[in-house]
Amino acid sequence: MKKILLLTDFSDASRHALQFARSLFGDTVADFHLMCVYPVETDAFYSRKYVTQAAHTAFADQLHEVVAQLRHEAPTDWHTFRSSAYPGTLLEVATQAVGVETYDWVVIGAKKDGTNALFGNSATALIRQLTANVLVVPVDAPIRPVWQVVLAADFASLKNCRLLEPLKELVALKGANLTLLTVKTPGKKIVYADQEARIRQFLAPIEPSVTLAQAPDARQGIDTYLNGHPVDLLVTIPKHKSWSDVLANNSVTRSLAYTPPVPLMVLYDDGHSDEPRLIDDLSNLDFAL
């Protein structure tokens, strides 16, 4: 069973994200946890405790109505629904949630707006901070079968093929076509044959096509590909998460999540490596054997 945390603020974007996720995982047993995070403001006439309780009741009641409707509409019992409402900030509450419970995906709708490109929006904050896979759904994304999936990544830097497992599972389940897109930019490392072979071996029996694009930077290369090819789902693996990277505009995933051109799946990289290790010190040879 897949466990999916869907963050909602009852906006058109979050409602659309829910419908998209239900369709995407329509052939999968899944538990949807709808979570609403609301701010608590002080009031001159009422205590903070009273305001907090009143806000919780109001948002919890709305969630209960949504979940009741979802249960009524569900054509099968493959999908279950539950809800929670918490005070605070979205990032704080979501971080606590994934720390307590393991979710396969955290889903958020993209409104195509935000403070500005530098400070980002809720999606960019979640991708930068959460230790979880994130699905960002544009408010105008069509809900249709997923046939064309593109993994855009720096494959020369991919140290752990196991983080591709959710992508492999999804592509196999959908019978979709998978394209490995790498953008060659000035100074970019070359993907050697053994690295590509290791990726292909992990993805087997899926046989992805490989596309090499050239562009001044990775974002331009991805945009050019998207403009020339039908893509139902774009998948990335973020590398640059520090504030220095943000200020230098190094994070391609961040820019994509801020204004996602298509539904965006972001795979969480915990930094582990499954690459074979070489024995550099012959004095350890007997111990290694």
Side-chain half-sphere exposure of 188, counting CA atoms within 13 A: 20
> Domains in the chain, please, with CATH?
2-138 (3.40.50.620), 148-263 (3.40.50.620)
Provide the strand spans (E) within 1-78.
2-7, 30-38
For tokens 């403001």, the residue is 41
Amino acid identity of residue 45, one-letter, is F
How does pLDDT run across 105-149, given as a tens digit for each residue? 999 998 765 544 433 478 888 888 899 999 999 999 999 999 999
* Tokens encoding 179: 């394209």
Residues 6+ apart with CB under 8 A from 27: 78, 173
Q: What pLDDT was estimated at residue 191?
A: 72
Q: What are the residue ranges in the chain where pLDDT is below 70?
A: 41-52, 54-55, 75-76, 112-120, 240-251, 274-289
CA 240, 242, 246, 247 dihedral sign is negative
Q: What pLDDT was estimated at residue 238?
A: 86
DSSP string, 90-112: HHHHHHHHHHHS--SEEEEEE-S
Bond preceding residue 205 cis, omega within 30 of 0 = yes
Q: What pLDDT was estimated at residue 272?
A: 78
Q: What pLDDT was estimated at residue 145?
A: 94
Q: What pLDDT was estimated at residue 61?
A: 83
Work out whether strand 148-152 and strand 30-38 pair parallel, antiparallel, or are unpaired: unpaired
* Tokens encoding 211: 């596309």
